[in-house]
Amino acid sequence: MSAKQPGKRNSFLSDRQSLKRTLAILLIVDIFLFLGFMLFQRTTRSANIIYEKESRYHYIRVVDENTIRKLMFTLSPGAEIQSAIDLDSPGRHVLEYSRMVFASLAFVQQPQHILVIGLGGGIIPSTFAEYFPSAQIDVVEIDSEIVEVAEDFFNFRPSARMSIIVADGRVYVRQAKYKGIKYDIIVLDAFNGSYIPSHLTTKEFLQEVFFIVKDGGCVVSNIHHGNKLYEYQQRTYSEVALQNYIFEGTSNAIVISSQQRNGLSRQKVKKKLFQLQNQFQFVFNLNSVGKMLIEKPTWDIEGDILTDDFSPVNILKSKQL
* Residues with active-site annotation: 189
Of 112, 142, 143, 146, nearest to 129 (Cα)?
112
Most distant CA pair in the chain, distance: 106
Q: Return d(Cα 273, Cα 103) in angstroms, integer.
A: 7
| Helix, strand or coil, per DSSP, at residue 115 | strand
In the chain, count H helices and then E strands.
Answer: 10, 11
Q: Return d(Cα 104, Cα 116) in angstroms, integer.
A: 13
| Helix, strand or coil, per DSSP, at residue 83 | strand
DSSP string, 143-185: -HHHHHHHHHHS-----TTEEEEES-HHHHHHHHHHHT--EEE
What residues contact 307, with CB distance under 8 A and at least 6 apart? 202, 203, 204
Q: Return d(Cα 267, Cα 94) in angstroms, integer.
A: 26
Task: Supply the angle between the helices 203-211 and 229-240 in degrees, to the nearest 10.
Answer: 40
